[in-house]
Amino acid sequence: MISMFMFVVVLALLMVGIPVAFVFSSVAIAFAFLTPHVGFDVFSVLPFRIYGIMSNSTLMAVPLFISMGLVLEKSLMAEKLLFAMSSAFRTVRGGLAVSVVLVGAMLAASTGVVSASVVMMSVIALPLMLRAGYDKGLASATIASSGTLGQIIPPSIILIILGDVMSVSVGELFMGAVLPGLVLVVLYIIYILIFSYLKPDAAPVAKNVKEVSIKEIIIAMVPPLLLMVSILGSIFAGIASPTESAAFGVVGALLLSAFNGSLNFEMLKYATLGSVKLSGMIFMILIAATAFSLVFNELGGSDLILEFFSNDIGDVWVFIAVAMLSIFILGFFIDFIEISFIIVPILVPVMHAFGIDPVWFAILIALNLQASFLTPPFGLSLFFLKGVAGDSIKTAEIYRGIIPFILLQILALGLVMLFPDLVFAFL
Q: Does the pLDDT at position 19 exceed 90?
A: no
Encode pLDDT of 268-295 as tens digits. Answer: 898 888 888 888 887 888 888 888 888 8
Q: Does the pLDDT at position 115 exceed 70?
A: no
Q: b/e string for 391-407 if b means 16 or more Cβ within 10 A?
A: eebeeebbbbbbebbbe
Of residues 80 and 355, more confidently modeled: 355
Cis peptide before 377 (omega within 30 of 0): yes
Q: Does the pLDDT at position 79 exceed 80?
A: no
Instruction: Pick the range with the lowest mean pLDDT from 87-101, 207-221, 337-351.
Output: 207-221
Q: Does the pLDDT at position 32 exceed 90?
A: no
Encode pLDDT of 159-190 as tens digits. Answer: 988 998 898 988 899 999 999 999 999 999 99
What value does the mean pLDDT take over residues 331-343? 78
Contacts of 327 (CB under 8 A, 6+ apart): 339, 343, 365, 368, 369, 372
Contacts of 176 (CB under 8 A, 6+ apart): 359, 360, 362, 363, 423, 424, 426, 427
Encode pLDDT of 192-233 as tens digits. Answer: 999 988 888 888 876 666 777 777 777 878 888 888 888 888
Please report which confidence band the pLDDT of residue 300 belongs to, taking 50, 70 and 90 as the band edges. confident
> Which long-range contacts does 250-256 make (Cβ < 8 Å, 24+ apart)?
250/64, 250/67, 250/68, 250/71, 252/68, 252/226, 252/227, 253/67, 253/68, 253/71, 253/72, 253/75, 253/227, 254/71, 256/72, 256/75, 256/77, 256/223, 256/224, 256/227
Sign of torsion over alpha carbons 392, 111, 286, 284: negative
Please report which confidence band the pLDDT of residue 111 belongs to, taking 50, 70 and 90 as the band edges. low
Please report which confidence band the pLDDT of residue 10 belongs to, taking 50, 70 and 90 as the band edges. confident
Q: Are 108 and 117 in contact (CB under 8 A)?
A: yes
Q: Are 96 and 86 in contact (CB under 8 A)?
A: yes
Percent of all residues in the chain with a pLDDT value above 70, rounded to a whole number: 95
Amino acid at 281: M
| H runs (alpha helix) in 260-394 | 265-298, 301-307, 316-330, 336-354, 358-371, 380-389
Q: Are 160 and 425 in contact (CB under 8 A)?
A: no
Please state the pTM of the whole predicted model.
0.84
Instruction: Pick the range with the lowest mean pLDDT from 2-6, 297-301, 306-310, 392-396.
Output: 306-310
Q: How far apart are CA 291 and CA 165, in angstroms?
A: 14
What dihedral do alpha carbons 185, 187, 189, 191 form, nearest 10°?
-150
What SS3 string covers 20-44? HHHHHHHHHHHHHHHCCCCCHHHHH
> Closest Cα partner for 244 from 61, 59, 52, 53?
61
Q: How far apart are CA 372 and CA 378, in angstroms?
A: 8
pLDDT attached to residue 45: 82
Q: How far apart are CA 289 and CA 293, in angstroms?
A: 6
Question: Considering the chain, what is the average pLDDT of its residues?
Answer: 84
Please report which confidence band the pLDDT of residue 78 belongs to, taking 50, 70 and 90 as the band edges. confident
Q: How far apart are CA 160 and CA 366, in angstroms?
A: 10
Domain that holds residue 396: 2-424
3-state helix, strand, coil in the chain (%, to 5): 80, 0, 20
Q: Are 94 and 193 in contact (CB under 8 A)?
A: yes
pLDDT attached to residue 46: 84
pLDDT attached to residue 112: 64
Specify whether the backbone of 240 is left (phi greater than 0), alpha (psi in -120 to 50) or beta.
beta
Encode pLDDT of 356-370 as tens digits. Answer: 999 999 999 999 988
pLDDT attached to residue 310: 67
Q: How far apart are CA 397 and CA 394, in angstroms?
A: 5
Amino acid at 55: S
Q: Does the pLDDT at position 309 exceed 80?
A: no
Q: What is the DSSP letter of 119?
A: H
**What is the tally of structural domains in the chain?**
1
pLDDT attached to residue 365: 94
pLDDT attached to residue 108: 80
Strand ranges (DSSP E) for 154-212?
none
Q: How far apart are CA 149 and CA 238, in angstroms?
A: 24
